[in-house]
Chain A
Amino acid sequence: MAKSIDVSDLNIYYSDFLAVEGVTMTIPARSVTAFIGPSGCGKSTFLRSLNRMHEVIPGARVEGKVMVDGQSLYDANVDPVEVRREIGMVFQRPNPFPTMSIYENVLAGLRLNNKRLKKSEADSVVEKSLKGANLWNEVKDRLNKPGMGLSGGQQQRLCIARAIAVEPQVLLMDEPCSALDPISTSAIEDLIHELKEEYTIVIVTHNMQQAARVSEDTAFFNLAGAGKPGRLVEMNPTKKIFSVPDEEATEAYISGRFG
């Protein structure tokens, strides 16, 4: 079910402001790809353009091509709602729906998309998704309690469960651990390892150790200069990036000389 993503010559704008310029990359299927780079260099913006979440901001638009499974995401007759069903997203801050229980949160994607589920089917989707998100054992006795009652790390895993319950092809993660403590972070990193068996995962992170731990490939983004758009500096297998990167700038960033 996992798909690879081909991006060619992508420019991303906020109204007239060019935020990210000329990105070309291939994100392999069933593998974890990490985006690193200093704040404001356009990693999150680029990530959001992969499932057409970028355009929910008024004035935001994109030029170039993003191909998933041979279909161009930005063709005129592509429905962004369909795209987002295939390419799920986990956000920086955990955002379970406050009016729903844990059970309803996991099913939200299906229920809100008008899927009629039998009680037994719904139960099995919830169990499968929560097990997939490593949360089942912690919450199986209180599925009807509000999702907001969980700890931050549990809430984030609930959001991951909610995202995988709709069985997307690709899972985008925008700094999923930045609001979490080390133990929850480690739980989520373990989860990412398991999820890559079935999903194509793209993760934005500020934590370079995390990128080194979880990803197969790493893309380094940087600003071309103050006030200039962000661009992709280098994309290589993670091992290579963290040992012998092609670019001077990557080396400087990873070794902590700037950024």
Chain B
Amino acid sequence: MSAIVHQHVPLTHPRLPRWAPALVGVISLALAALLGISLGWGPVGIVVVALLVYLVGLPVWSRLVENRRAATNRFVTTLVWVSLGIALVPLGSLLWKVISLGAPQVNGRFLTWSMKNVFGESGGIYHSLTGTLIITLIATIISVPVGLMTAIYLVEYGAKSRTASAIRFLVDVMTGIPSIVAGLFAYALFTLLFGPGTKIGFAGGLALSLLMVPIVVRSAEEMLKLVPDDLREASWALGVPKWKTILKVVLPTALAGIITGVTLAVARVIGETAPLLIACGATTAVNLNPASGQMSSLPVFIYFSYTQPGANPKILQDMAWGAAFVLIVVVMVLNLIARVAGKILAPKTGH
């Protein structure tokens, strides 16, 4: 029987200095810039070449000094960071463009005037802002009860039954409905009910709710599923009826998540253009009554300002950017409100 010979295994190996990535970065950029300027590339070309040099240089240096695993690690780490950067570029550029072009447009007149009888000068988006808020509010009022109750059926009553699977399938189908089809549906419905050419705020709200309901159902369903069965059983064991258990135990526990889901659904539909174009049309005047007359909204206003800017295109196109900026701010404010509400309503751990 031969004894196992224990070799001395070193637990340390040479490491690159901490400033190595920075050094490689600077060198890559310098090299790429030198090449780029002499060959006349633009800044994009220089950055791309610098990234490629970095992507090769750092792992090679690491392979020579450190070991294979460290080199692979550095290579993959670089790739991950570059991917993150690439993903963020469009977002950053979009925000920069909207803020730089849109923010200067926003002033008191812009927010409080409509476009009625405004010719050849800059007006305001008050009519579209109120329109968007009213239409979205209507859509939310329709979608939240319908969506939430559907989700409650799916989780608490239907569970694995055939009806529930059928509903889940239909909700998934509904998620895929193109928004313009929802607009056509709402328009056709209101034409049937109230005569041809009925373009009113309610029709727009209905069209948007068709898009919202499936999102609310799916997100609320996921949130309700996360509520542990322990809590339901605890409540039943106290002799609490099922409906009351759902209302007083399950829903409060899931409320924060449900609110987040609803906000995401609102954010998803608030920028819809096509269905509103069809279902509630456009106007230059303030219309606060969703039951009669066409109603403008921010996306539709942006669309018309850009496609039909009239005699003085610059003014309306600038206003379109302003409206886009306001739209993004509205969505962000809604998100913030939802986050705060979620924080306040979230189950308390006491820590």
Residues of A within 8 A of B (CB): 51, 53, 56, 58, 81-86, 88-89, 91, 93, 95-99, 108-109, 112-113, 145-150, 159, 162-163, 166
Contact = CB atoms under 8 A, between A and B. Distances in A.
20 contacts: A56-B236, A81-B240, A81-B241, A84-B239, A88-B237, A91-B230, A95-B228, A97-B231, A97-B235, A98-B231, A99-B255, A99-B347, A108-B240, A108-B249, A109-B239, A109-B240, A112-B244, A112-B245, A113-B240, A163-B238
A159 B348 contact: no
A116 B349 CA distance: 28
Given A81-B239, A109-B239, A95 B159 contact: no
A89 B241 contact: no
A99 B235 contact: no
A99 B348 contact: yes
B234 interface: yes
A149 B239 contact: no
A112 B350 contact: no
A88 B349 contact: no
Contacts of B233: 53, 56, 89, 91, 95
Nearest to A94: B230
Given A95-B230, A148-B349, A89 B240 contact: no
A108 B232 CA distance: 13
Given A53-B233, A81-B239, A84-B239, 13 more contacts: A53-B236, A82-B239, A95-B233, A98-B253, A98-B349, A99-B252, A99-B253, A108-B249, A112-B240, A112-B245, A113-B238, A148-B347, A163-B237
A97 B234 contact: yes
B248 interface: yes
Contacts of A108: 235, 238, 240, 249
A98 B348 contact: yes
A201 B229 CA distance: 24
Contacts of A148: 347-350
A58 B158 CA distance: 11
B34 to A, nearest CB: 61
Contact of B236 (A84, A147, A150, A159): A84
Q: Lowest 3 CB-CB distances: which A-B pairs, in order?
A: A149-B350, A85-B239, A98-B347
Contacts of B230: 91, 93, 95
B351 interface: yes
A97 B245 CA distance: 11
A166 B231 CA distance: 17
B248 A112 contact: yes
B84 to A, nearest CB: 35
Q: Is the interface of B mostly helix, strand, loop or mixed?
A: helix
Interface of B: 159-160, 228, 230-241, 244-245, 248-249, 252-253, 255, 347-351
Given A56-B233, A91-B233, A112 B347 contact: no
Contacts of A149: 348-351
B160 A162 contact: no
Given A58-B160, A95-B231, A99-B252, A146 B237 contact: no
Contacts of B228: 95
B36 to A, nearest CB: 58
A166 B350 CA distance: 25
A84 B233 CA distance: 11
B248 to A, nearest CB: 5
Nearest to A58: B159
Contacts of A51: 237
A24 to B, nearest CB: 25
Q: Counting chain A CB atoms within 10 Å of each CB, which of B159, B241, B349 scores highest? A: B241
B160 A146 contact: no
A168 B347 CA distance: 28
A167 B31 CA distance: 81
A146 B240 contact: no
A60 to B, nearest CB: 13
Contacts of A89: 233, 237
Contacts of B252: 99
A220 B234 CA distance: 26
B238 A84 contact: yes
Contacts of A81: 236, 239-241
Contacts of B238: 84-85, 88, 108-109, 112-113, 162-163, 166
Q: Counting chain A CB atoms within 10 Å of each CB, which of B159, B238, B252 scores highest? A: B238
B155 to A, nearest CB: 13
Nearest to A105: B234
A91 B237 CA distance: 10
A94 B159 CA distance: 25
Nearest to A159: B234
A201 to B, nearest CB: 15
A111 to B, nearest CB: 8
Nearest to B349: A148
Contacts of A113: 238-240, 244
A159 B348 CA distance: 17
Given A58-B160, A95-B228, A112 B235 contact: yes
Nearest to B160: A58
Nearest to A101: B348
A155 B145 CA distance: 35
